[in-house]
Amino acid sequence: MWNGLADRYPALVVRPTHADDVVAALRFAREEDLLVAVRCGGHSIPGLSTCDDGIVIDLSRMRGVDVDPGARTARASGGSLLAELDEQAQSVGLVCPVGVVSHTGVAGLTLGGGMGRLQRKHGLTIDNLLAVELVTADGRLVRASEDENSELFWGLRGAGANFGIATSFTFRLSPLEGVVTHGTVLHPLERARELAALFREAVETGPDELWTSFGVFAPAGGEPIATVSAHHCGPLEQAERDLAALQAFGPPIEGSFEAKPYLEAQHLNDEAMEWGHRFYMKSAFLHSLPDELVDLAVEHAARVPRGAEGGYSTWAWGGAIAGVPEDATAFTGRDASFWMAAEIQWDDPALDDSCRDWARAAMTDVSPFESAGRYVNDVSEADERVTSIYGDAKAERLVALKRQWDPDNVFRLNQNVRP
Ligand SMILES: Cc1cc2nc3c(=O)[nH]c(=O)nc-3n(C[C@H](O)[C@H](O)[C@H](O)COP(=O)(O)OP(=O)(O)OC[C@H]3O[C@@H](n4cnc5c(N)ncnc54)[C@H](O)[C@@H]3O)c2cc1C
């Protein structure tokens, strides 16, 4: 598992190479009454893709992405990683919006929503999802799309780990020239307020091609800093104009925004987020990012336990995400202005409690600024109530769907919708 905190011992690990194997594994698990974990990229933050004593159906041998350049679609097998989807789509000048660390699994990311640097231009990953093939709890291979099993398709887009084992995903692709303008710039923490003001202005006045994030961060053993990242997928001259104010702010401690291949940008976080560290996070959607909240973030950044690295990250939301009606998918939180998370990483097990406590306290102070919904893929606690993630009405609709497709709750290692 990616998260070093998720240390479990399944009785059996099955590595299918084909959907028929998935059906056979699931039938066996049901006959033997085994707890079932389903694994793609293994990046579940609470470790939901493994278990003690049960069976892990690990799709890591079902990888590969086929692109149809004429139809502008991609079909990704259920165990694929983001890097494969990015590389295959870019090989013909196309793209599907996905997350920012290329070793994350396509399945887990997509079934929860899928945030990333192209989200203001092209929406969440689920907003580009055309169809899913999945093995259901009763061992059938079914397809869900807008035309086939459309209610299931609604639930798969945001609560998808609850309804079956996805063996393939079909995505719509969009053109993307290979080069984007991208970078992260670090500034002294004392300038966090001014930097946040520039970030807000960039979000409010910038085009959908521009995605930005603002953060305050304490590196292990170092002084906390303020940071801003930007990713512009429009023409280079337009990017230069749209990023001029952020670029001019300073002098920075380090960093700049530069033209680089999209695929290079997609790998830049891979090492910092490598496998095996201990990790905890909490996130929220925000209606605003006032100075008061920036000040709170600065205070908490100074309290990150010694030996850990952690801080807040705030992403520009809106654009194409807000263009999709809230009811169109199970995902909840489209009307937010920002997404904010407190994230912390460490290696020493003796720090487990203090690091978790840090993140919890950090996000408790954020709650007065929260808007509706919660991103299911960021929920670190296995027992978060689904109503807080999806709201009451959608949670009810999901329960009805769960009763129809998985009445025995075979798929319960997820943020569980109980039948
Ligand atoms: C380093 C890192 C970076 C991240 N960056 C982003 C980001 O930029 N944007 C973003 O939106 N999210 C991001 N996330 C969150 C990420 O989307 C979730 O952790 C996601 O669940 C990981 O998917 P996975 O396939 O790697 O995980 P897994 O641990 O394999 O699975 C996660 C969940 O999905 C279920 N599942 C897995 N495969 C299948 C399948 N084929 N069918 C049905 N259910 C399945 C599992 O049972 C489990 O409940 C990041 C997480 C990490 C750890």
Judge if the beta carbon of residue 10 lies within 6 A of ligand 1. Answer: no
Residue 179 in tokens = 């080069």
Contact 41, 105 (CB under 8 A): yes
pTM of the predicted model over 0.85:
yes
Atom of ligand 1 nearest to the CA of 41: 26
SS3 99: coil
Contacts of 258 (CB under 8 A, 6+ apart): 181, 182, 183
Q: Using CA atoms, how far apart are residues 356 and 371, in angstroms rounded to an integer?
A: 23
Whole-Å CA distances, 297 to 33, 168, 321, 354:
47, 40, 26, 17
Q: Using CA atoms, how far apart are residues 19 and 333, in angstroms rounded to an integer?
A: 33
Residue 124 in tokens = 């969440």
Q: Which of 107, 75, 163, 103 has the alpha carbon at shortest distance from 405?
A: 163
Contact 95, 122 (CB under 8 A): yes
Using alpha carbons only, give the angle 102, 108, 112 rounded to the nearest 5 degrees.
115
Atom of ligand 1 nearest to the CA of 163: 43
Atom of ligand 1 nearest to the CA of 78: 41
Q: Using CA atoms, how far apart are residues 4 and 330, in angstroms rounded to an integer?
A: 30
In the reported structure, the alpha carbon of residue 44 is separated from the centroid of ligand 1 by a whole-number distance in angstroms of: 5
**Protein residue with its CA nearest to atom 34 in ligand 1:** 108
Intra-chain end-to-end CA distance of the chain, in Å: 28
- pLDDT values of the chain reduced to their tens digit, one per residue, 419 residues: 999 999 999 999 999 999 999 999 999 999 999 999 999 999 999 999 999 999 999 999 999 999 999 999 999 999 999 999 999 999 999 999 999 999 999 999 999 999 999 999 999 999 999 999 999 999 999 999 999 999 999 999 999 999 999 999 999 999 998 999 999 999 999 999 999 999 999 999 999 999 999 999 999 888 999 999 999 999 999 999 999 999 999 999 999 999 999 999 999 999 999 999 999 999 999 999 999 999 999 999 999 999 999 999 999 999 999 999 999 999 999 999 999 999 999 999 999 999 999 999 999 999 999 999 999 999 987 666 899 999 999 999 999 999 999 999 999 999 999 99
Whole-Å CA distances, 405 to 41, 143, 157, 395:
24, 13, 15, 15
Q: Are strands 309-316 and 165-172 parallel, antiparallel or unpaired?
A: unpaired
Q: Using CA atoms, how far apart are residues 355 and 309, in angstroms rounded to an integer?
A: 9
Judge if the beta carbon of residue 99 lies within 6 A of ligand 1. Answer: yes
In the reported structure, the alpha carbon of residue 43 is separated from the centroid of ligand 1 by a whole-number distance in angstroms of: 5
SS3 content of the chain, % helix, strand, coil (to 5): 35, 25, 40
Question: pLDDT value at position 400?
Answer: 98
Contact 301, 218 (CB under 8 A): yes
Q: Using CA atoms, how far apart are residues 12 and 115, in angstroms rounded to an integer?
A: 32
In the reported structure, the alpha carbon of residue 115 is separated from the centroid of ligand 1 by a whole-number distance in angstroms of: 11
SS3 154: helix
Q: Are strands 36-39 and 55-58 parallel, antiparallel or unpaired?
A: parallel
Judge if the beta carbon of residue 49 lies within 6 A of ligand 1. Answer: yes
Question: pLDDT value at position 256?
Answer: 94
In the reported structure, the alpha carbon of residue 348 is separated from the centroid of ligand 1 by a whole-number distance in angstroms of: 24
Q: Using CA atoms, how far apart are residues 383 and 185, in angstroms rounded to an integer?
A: 37
Judge if the beta carbon of residue 305 lies within 6 A of ligand 1. Answer: no
Judge if the beta carbon of residue 161 lies within 6 A of ligand 1. Answer: yes
In the sheet with 73-77, reading across from the earlier edge strand, the strands are 65-68, 73-77, 165-172, 129-135, 141-145
For residues 383, 386, 390, 392, the Cα torsion angle rounded to the nearest 10 degrees is -140
Q: Using CA atoms, how far apart are residues 159 and 137, in angstroms rounded to an integer?
A: 15
Q: Which of 60, 117, 126 has the alpha carbon at shortest distance from 267?
A: 117
Q: Using CA atoms, how far apart are residues 279 and 310, in angstroms rounded to an integer?
A: 10
Judge if the beta carbon of residue 59 lies within 6 A of ligand 1. Answer: yes
Question: pLDDT value at position 383?
Answer: 65
For residues 292, 296, 298, 304, the Cα torsion angle rounded to the nearest 10 degrees is -170
Question: pLDDT value at position 222?
Answer: 86
Residue 367 in tokens = 């709650």
Judge if the beta carbon of residue 419 lies within 6 A of ligand 1. Answer: no
Judge if the beta carbon of residue 377 lies within 6 A of ligand 1. Answer: yes
What phi, psi does 378 have (nearest 5°)? Answer: -100, -5
Q: Are strands 12-14 and 55-58 parallel, antiparallel or unpaired?
A: parallel
**Protein residue with its CA nearest to atom 7 in ligand 1:** 99
Q: Using CA atoms, how far apart are residues 13 and 60, in angstroms rounded to an integer?
A: 11
Judge if the beta carbon of residue 100 lies within 6 A of ligand 1. Answer: yes
